[in-house]
Amino acid sequence: MRAISQPDFTHEQTAMARGFRWIAGVDEVGRGPLAGPVTAAAVILDPDNIPPGLNDSKQLRPARRDALYDLILEKALAVSVASVPAAMIDRVNIRQASLRAMEMAVRGLDLPPQFIFVDGRDVPPHFAAPAAAIIKGDAKVMTIAAASIIAKVTRDRLMKKYARLWPGYGFEKHMGYATAQHLKALALQGPCRLHRFSFAPIAPRN
């Protein structure tokens, strides 16, 4: 059986060898749910103080994600998070909302990054530094993995908070994804303000 690969610091070291000092990793979470924001994080790790065990957030148990979240905040040189709400997702579409969230996260960093690694296929158009998109970067690039953890934990905690404001949907369990529980609640209660009205099956049919 082939071992599952883990992210490393190779991409960052290559960029540093080219003269870039502050290297940011960027990732987003929440493209697919029927409710809630899309959330992005940007992280600049300290090359001399990298938290052990960083990995794609999807490969980590919740307790381990929470522990690494705290370690990243403690040890990283800079961390920033940004969310774009459901209403904006409906106005501009999920792809554009995701790009906006990533741009906002990068702008929020205390250190201006000199190079940026982004998870996925797209580099947001308004970055103020050179950047590279890495498909499945959260499983390959250490700084992107760190950003994936920050984004995931932040969004999950937001959804648990929203579950108290909009009870009955089970947001604290499925985080807005289209589970059977969520679809049943939608059928019984209809959507709330947290829902994405441009997403099927919430979007009205022509």
Q: What is the CATH number of the domain that holds 107?
A: 3.30.420.10
How many structural domains comprise the chain?
A: 1
Tell me the pTM: 0.95
Candidates 63, 65, 83; CA nearest to 73 is: 65
Is pLDDT above 60 for 103? yes
Structure tokens at 25: 């990793």
pLDDT tens profile 15-39: 999 999 999 999 999 999 999 999 9
**Interstrand relation of 78-84 and 23-29 (parallel, antiparallel or unpaired):** unpaired
SS3 state at 152? helix
Structure tokens at 175: 């985080």
The span from the CA of 191 to the CA of 44, in Å, is 38
The span from the CA of 125 to the CA of 121, in Å, is 12
Q: Containing domain of residue 168, as a range? A: 10-189
pLDDT tens profile 66-101: 999 999 999 999 999 999 999 999 999 999 999 999
SS3 state at 119? strand
